[in-house]
Structure formats: structure tokens, C-alpha cells
Structure 1
Amino acid sequence: MRVLAAMSGGVDSAVAAARMAEAGHDVTGVHLALSRNPQSYRSGARGCCTIEDSRDARRAADVIGIPFYVWDLAERFHADVVEDFVSEYAAGRTPNPCLRCNEKVKFSAVLERALALGFDAVATGHYARIVDTPDGARELHRAVDPAKDQSYVLGVLTQAQLAHAFFPLGDTVKTEVREEAERRGLSVAAKPDSHDICFIADGNTAGFLGAQLGEAPGDIVDAQGNKLGEHSGTHGFTIGQRKGLKIGTPAADGKPRFVLDISPVDRTVTVGSREELAVSELTASNPRWCGPAPADSVVHATAQLRAHGDEVPVVATVQGNHVQVTFAEPTSAVAPGQAVVLYDGTRVIGSATIDSVQRVSATV
């Protein structure tokens, strides 16, 4: 099988490519140049797509003994991921750029190009598993290593995309991957993982958004509309945020306040207690199913709301292009723009983008 191995320059993608080659596939490595102005070096575990990363990927390909190319997808990445990220924050929503990158770039642009060039599949270093069913379908499942599981950000993949995908690391824990890289003589064996948003290398998301959107001062208010302070832009806040609110007046009960709502139209940020964050249900749209759409309109499942969040029991009601998710127990810090990913055990059912939430405090 002809396989295109996406090689970021990190240890995971290098080992994934090596495993595919060792399994007898005809493997070609490709590094995706996603930055318009790539820096020469990373800063520790921040950022990616630097010149150093592309060189690390090339060296790994040489050790593995596979052809290697660099594909410039900077414009596609900027349009589909960076601009989407900025516009979502400008609208008061909280997007997940890694999820959008998987949907629009790695398993859309790259897979489409790979198939057009005669490749059969794309392999990446994501921690997730694909399980082939007796009827010939492919299911996306959680990785064996729960600490590294990335099925949440892959929940946007369709059955057609899974049919041409390989995740060779899904049955391995991270320590074993590094040990294997060392045995294979890959120089990236001890390279730090990238933990932050790749196009914000200094980790200062608020500063990045401020430079893109400018200042738009407004008020910070409580749930009753009382002004508590001021801010320089709603894009500097996310639902559930506690730190950095800069409210001079303490709460009457002395407890911390959290961001409850963000309204870019009137430039208002509403804050309240932890209890006021509790959500009983949400409405999401544009579902993407990792296999056939659920046969029943009502699905008992578990849901994950953040990349490293816990699963919670839910009942999901599917109505065309919308999904209503009701929580068995109230949950907190649910933000419009995030993805809700539904699971049946370890299997990913699909995902949808959160549009609105119903807070417990609004119903009592």
C-alpha cells in the first residue's frame, strides 16, 4: 500500500512513519509547512512548523530510508484555521484550532492531494485507534494511553476519511514511543512535545488576538447587570475563565468569579459564581459522524467537551443538522464554539459544534 506519512518533526510522527515502513508499506514522508513566516527555532515545547522542525522531519525520513517532501499549505492553513480562530473569538466563541486543522487541512487538503497523487492512505502520529468491523466499516476509538488520547480532536473525521487513515501509535503509551525512537536512532527521541497553539509560539493568546482585532473596550458586569470593571476586548476572555479578570470589587461572599457570558455586540463580559457556571444541556450544530449517523434520534452516550476533559453521561437528541445534549448531572465551563464529541465506550460516535447552553441557574 502506498502511504503518505505526515511528519511534523516530532517523535510521534517519526515513529509512526517508521512503523508503516517496517510493516512493508511504500511510505513517503511529507512535512506540512503551515506558517507564512516560520521561525528558525522553537522555544521549548511552544509552537511548531519551524525551520528546525522541517529539518528534524527530513533527518528522521533519512534514517527510516523513505523519500521526503515539504508541502506548502500555509495559505490554506491561514484561511481555514487561523482566520477561523480569530473570527470565532471575535464572535464571543471559543474554537479548537487543532480540531479545525484536522478537519480542514490534515484530513481534507492533505488526504485529497495524497489520493490525487496515487497514495492509498495518510498516516499520522495521533494517539487514537482505528478498528475494522466485520462489515468492512472503520471505527475511531480512543488510544490505549488515556493521557495522550487524541480522539477528541479527530472526532470531525468522516467514515470516508477514516477509510484512508492510519494511526500507528494508538496501541502504544508515550514512554514506549520515545524508547522505540531511541532504538531506531531517531534524533527526535527526546524532543519536547508541542503543547500550545502552534501559530501562537509565545503562548500569549490574548496578545495574539489583541494584535489581530485591536482594542474594543467594554464593561465587566455581574448577572444582575451591575458594572464591576472594564476590559479592553471581549476576545481576551473564555467561558469559565477565573484568572486575569482584574475586578477591583470582591464578591459579596468572597469567592472567586468566573466568566459566564461573552457578548461582543455590546462589548459586555458577564461574570458570576462557580455555581452559576453549571449547565444542564446544550445545543450543537453541523454534526460530523465517524460512521453512519445514529439509527435512533435519541442516543445514550458519554460526551467530552474539551481536548483533555473528562467524559460525562448524556442523552443526545439528533434532529437533522442539530444535536441537543442533556447532561445526567450539571457540568461547568461549556463554551459556544467548542466541540462536543460523543462516545459509545471507547468508540467515537461523532462530534458537533456547540451553539448555545442552558444554565441551571436560569431554570431555578
Structure 2
Amino acid sequence: MTFPGAPTGPRDGSRLRVLAAMSGGVDSAVAAARAAEAGHDVTGVHLALSANPQSFRTGARGCCTIEDSRDARRAADVIGIPFYVWDLAERFREDVVEDFVSEYAAGRTPNPCLRCNEKIKFAALLDKALALGFDAVCTGHYATVVTHGDGRRELHRASDAAKDQSYVLGVLDDRQLAHAMFPLGDTLTTKDEIRAEAERRGLAVARKPDSHDICFIADGDTQGFLAKRLGTAEGAIVDEDGTRVGSHEGAYGFTIGQRKGLRIGTPAPDGKPRYVLDISPVDNTVTVGPAEALDVTGLTAIRPRWCGDVPPAGEAAYTAQLRAHGEDVPVRAEVVDGELRVRFAQPVRGVAPGQAVVLYDGTQVVGSATIATTERRERPAAAHA
């Protein structure tokens, strides 16, 4: 078994040509430095993902702005590696931004970071890297690739569960894993210690705050961003029996499980908070109800992608993660007619179509799929009469 984070390839066991994706943040800078320190031939690259980088959210983002590009360049200079900026703005717009907008328009809740990893960092970037003779793409993600003696590769959670980012990497397939390097994945250190390491290395990004939210929404206002692209259209907010209790300016501005910002004028009969239960873009209607109505017992997910070997046929026990910072929940799952069917051991809440479900076998990432439909737990008729 090779060391965690090391890809196999034509130079397996020797010095690798590594393309380090440098976002301008501290994690990717330290990852690039570690790869260079390990003796690999490292080149840094910053991805220009906007035709107008100033329109992307500025400040301490560690992602896609002009200042982030400059931070990445300074880090590469300190590490002593070549550095380039690659323009992938058009590909990013098509595969991530437009996908994000169309998913919300259809009443679903996408994860743009997961889509960026699938379509940009480990597809467009990796393809270009391989064409140029690189063996691996290195990123600052907290996850671990394990390669067995027979060549099998597995994606595992990071050694530090608190920093684990394997959920957003659950879309990677065997080919992509073969050329992925995550130097931070087996690090049992806190983020403060990563920052201290960056400081010792002389990297100016050592104290730069982490990125958050969505890089291509400049002001952090997702609803406003969507309204500019999809327009406004007044619609009804109804309770479970169809009674109108409020109005909205676009069903796309809501997500399953949402409680805040509903602007409901009529209180619930029991006085308890109401949550978004369903979004219907066809008639622009949002349905709300009590928290217990969110209980989901199962789901069907489409477009499954496997991180390594395809799981054996038939239902089996796994754990599942449903959001980037969500907890593991026990499930039984199987593939039926090309779709992933998942049954939860206990009902879970806040499950929305468009999200990714990622399956785990212990710490190993089995694969992921996009949630298409959910099954709600039946409640007594009186509970929502």
C-alpha cells in the first residue's frame, strides 16, 4: 500500500510531475509546499473562473478573485515552483453556474462545490494536466487516497474527521482518483497548526480566513442572484391542506427544510414553526408544514458515481452523508435499474432533491448520487387534517 495521498501512474514509486491547484488560500498553499518538499516536480496553477474576476466575492475568500490569484502567485514564489493562471471561466460558467441556476429553477438544491470538483478540478483541469504530461493534480482537500498493492484505489475520510472534505469528493471516479493527490488528508493536526506550518514556511496566506459560501455570488445573497437570472414571479405559500398562508416572489428562492424568511402572515394552529416541505416550480407554489412532516425514510438518487470498485449487487449496509457538514447516518442501499435506492435506519430531516447522497463503508467513500425523490414517513391523518 502506498502512502496516503499519493497517486499511481506512469511514474509510480518515483518523482511525479504534479500540478498543484492553488486557490489563494492556506490549505492549497501548504498542500503544494508539502508536495514539493516530498521531492515531486510541482507546478502551481490558479484557475480563473470568472470572465470578470472582480464580480466574484472579494475579501478573504481563498477562491476565485483577483486578490486570490495574487496570493497564490506569492505562495508559489515562496515555495519556489513555477506558477500559471489558467482561464476556465467559460467551462465554469457552463458546468457550475448555469447548472446551479437551472437546478434551483427546477425546485432542486444543488451543491456547486461538489459540481466544481467533478467538472472543473478533476475533469477540465485534470484532462489538461494529463495532456501536458503531468501525473497528478494536487489540492488542499482534507481526504485520503489509499492505493493497494494490486493497484486498487480507495478514497477515505481525512484522518481528522473535523476537517474531512470527502463528501465533496464523492463524485470522483477510479480514473480521477488515480491522478489525485491530497497531501493534507492524513494530517492529524488542527487548522491552527496548518496555519502555523504556513507561517513557518513564510507563506503570507497563513492568517487568511477560510473560504465560505458560494464563490460566484458576490454579495452572498443567493436569492437575489437567482432573481436576477430567473426573474420574479409571485406565487402562493400554502399549508398541507392547500390553504394559502403567504406569498413569495419565486419558488426557486426556497429549499426543503427552510424555516427562516418564509414571511407567513398566518400562524400555524398549534403555534409551532413551519418549514418548507415541498417546492413546485410548475405552479410556483411552496408548501409548508410542521417539522415532523420533514421526516424522510428513504430516497432514490440518480447518476451514481463510484469511487473505485462498483459495489456488489444487492442491498447492503452503509452509512450516508447528505450534506457537506452533515453527520453519518446508517442506511441500507442498492442499485436498481441504474438508480440508487437508499433506506434510512431512522427518519432524517432536511433532505432535498438535488443534493448529493454519499455512501461510506467505514471511512471509505463508496460513491455518490444525486437525490431525485424522497419518501416521507406517513403521519396520522389527523396530524395534517
* Counterpart-to-counterpart distance in 1, 2:251 and 2:261: 13
| Structure 1 residues 138-157: aligned runs within 5 Å | 138-157=153-172
Structure 2 residue 210 is matched with structure 1 residue 196: no
* Counterpart-to-counterpart distance in 1, 2:380 and 2:152: 43
1:321-363 CA-to-partner distances (Å, cap 9, x unmatched) read 2011000000001000000000011100000000000100369
* Counterpart-to-counterpart distance in 2, 1:211 and 1:10: 29
Check conservation: 2:17, 2:134, Cα contact below 8 A: yes
Equivalent in the alignment of 1:303: 320
Structure 2 residue 126 is matched with structure 1 residue 131: no
Select the residue among 112, 131, 134 that pairs with 1:97: 112
1:194-249 CA-to-partner distances (Å, cap 9, x unmatched) read 11111013111011001110002110001111110110001110000000000011
Structure 2 residue 253 is matched with structure 1 residue 236: yes
TM-score of the pair, normalised by structure 2: 0.92
Q: What SS does the corresponding residue of 1:85 show, helix, strand or coil?
A: helix
Select the residue among 349, 352, 362 that pairs with 2:366: 349
Equivalent in the alignment of 2:303: 286
1:29-61 CA-to-partner distances (Å, cap 9, x unmatched) read 000000121129954445731110000000000
1:95 counterpart letter in structure 2: P
| Structure 1 residues 1-364: aligned runs within 5 Å | 1-39=16-54, 43-46=58-61, 48-172=63-187, 173=189, 174-361=191-378
Check conservation: 2:304, 2:369, Cα contact below 8 A: yes
* Counterpart-to-counterpart distance in 2, 1:303 and 1:283: 13
- Root mean square deviation, CA, Å: 1.4
Give the deviation of 1:296 after TM superposition: 2.8
Aligned CA distance change for structure 1 residues 329 and 139 (closer, same or farther; 3 Å)? same
* Counterpart-to-counterpart distance in 2, 1:185 and 1:333: 43
Check conservation: 1:47, 1:196, Cα contact below 8 A: no
* Counterpart-to-counterpart distance in 1, 2:57 and 2:345: 43
1:67 counterpart letter in structure 2: P
Check conservation: 1:47, 1:198, Cα contact below 8 A: no
Check conservation: 1:42, 1:52, Cα contact below 8 A: no
Q: What SS does the corresponding residue of 1:147 show, helix, strand or coil?
A: helix
Check conservation: 1:47, 1:202, Cα contact below 8 A: no
Check conservation: 2:57, 2:215, Cα contact below 8 A: no
1:224 counterpart letter in structure 2: D
Q: What SS does the corresponding residue of 1:15 show, helix, strand or coil?
A: helix
Q: What SS does the corresponding residue of 1:189 show, helix, strand or coil?
A: helix
Give the deviation of 1:297 after TM superposition: 2.1
Q: Which ranges of structure 2 fall in alignment gaps of 5 or more residues?
A: 1-15
* Counterpart-to-counterpart distance in 2, 1:47 and 1:253: 46
Check conservation: 1:90, 1:235, Cα contact below 8 A: yes
TM-score of the pair, normalised by structure 1: 0.98
Check conservation: 1:47, 1:201, Cα contact below 8 A: no
Q: What SS does the corresponding residue of 1:39 show, helix, strand or coil?
A: helix
1:256 counterpart letter in structure 2: P
* Counterpart-to-counterpart distance in 2, 1:80 and 1:12: 24
* Counterpart-to-counterpart distance in 2, 1:68 and 1:333: 42
Q: What SS does the corresponding residue of 1:29 show, helix, strand or coil?
A: strand
Q: Which ranges of structure 1 fall in alignment gaps of 5 or more residues?
A: none
Check conservation: 1:41, 1:52, Cα contact below 8 A: no
- Count of residues paired in the alignment: 364
* Counterpart-to-counterpart distance in 1, 2:198 and 2:185: 16
Give the deviation of 1:252 after TM superposition: 0.8
Aligned CA distance change for structure 1 residues 205 and 168 (closer, same or farther; 3 Å)? same
1:333 counterpart letter in structure 2: G
1:167-217 CA-to-partner distances (Å, cap 9, x unmatched) read 000122322211110000000000011111110131110110011100021
* Counterpart-to-counterpart distance in 1, 2:139 and 2:250: 37
